[in-house]
Chains A and B, each alone.
Chain A
Amino acid sequence: QKEVEQDPGPLSVPEGAIVSLNCTYSNSAFQYFMWYRQYSRKGPELLMYTYSSGNKEDGRFTAQVDKSSKYISLFIRDSQPSDSATYLCAMSAIGYGQNFVFGPGTRLSVLP
């Protein structure tokens, strides 16, 4: 079993839809969770980061962590074509910028 699992997609949604992106993990020691957005041929861009369980909201994005289920989610409200990208989850047991494990990424297409 891979440490971090993520549905690779592609996921296609109409503009304005609510998008739910998810990752599951097996290592209960993970405490630091992040979501990155990667446009084609570009480096990943940090979207959000959370520590331990709970929700965090930033504009149209909401990150949710359920440590009991080893499950994290990223919700995108009012999705836009510019949100079309690959979304990667990443997590660490030690801290930000340390010993991260990335999911393989989910490719999202938001159709106008």
Chain B
Amino acid sequence: GAVVSQHPSRVICKSGTSVKIECRSLDFQATTMFWYRQFPKQSLMLMATSNEGSKATYEQGVEKDKFLINHASLTLSTLTVTSAHPEDSSFYICSGSLIRGGYTFGSGTRLTVV
């Protein structure tokens, strides 16, 4: 149980376009969803925390106008990378917090901006 489905798993887009990444909690209600970015050989870096029905809280240094997060329902959160540039190429992962402790991750999205 407690599965987060994330898609797409891989996306290649042109510089200047926008990309939307979706995370759905399949068998639990994710009141809080976290979005991470992982660069090669580095750890997960928290980008933002979103609570259902309210604005996301962004970590320092993360541009909220560039990384739009929507958490309109208890089962769906989206991250839109707007006007993507090559430096945005990374591995993006979402996770939902679990009542029992810890959290469950999506499978990640490999974004390549060319």
Contact = CB atoms under 8 A, between A and B. Distances in A.
A14 interface: no
- Kindly name the residue among B91, B102, B104 whose own CB sees the greatest number of chain A CB atoms within 10 A: B102
B46 A100 contact: yes
B86 to A, nearest CB: 20
Q: Tell me the dominant secondary structure on chain B's binding face.
A: strand
Interface residues of B, number: 22
Contacts of A43: 6, 93, 95, 105-108
Contacts of A96: 97-98, 101-103
Contact of B43 (A32, A45, A88): A88
A97 to B, nearest CB: 3
A46 B97 CA distance: 11
Given A8-B41, A97-B97, A98-B97, A41 B103 contact: no
B103 A46 contact: yes
Q: Tell me the dominant secondary structure on chain A's binding face.
A: loop
A65 interface: no
A44 B102 contact: no
Interface of A: 8, 32, 34, 36, 41-46, 49, 88, 96-98, 100, 102-105
26 contacts: A8-B41, A41-B108, A42-B107, A43-B93, A43-B95, A43-B106, A43-B107, A44-B44, A44-B105, A46-B102, A46-B104, A88-B43, A96-B97, A96-B98, A96-B101, A96-B102, A96-B103, A97-B32, A97-B97, A97-B101, A98-B97, A100-B46, A102-B43, A102-B44, A104-B42, A104-B43
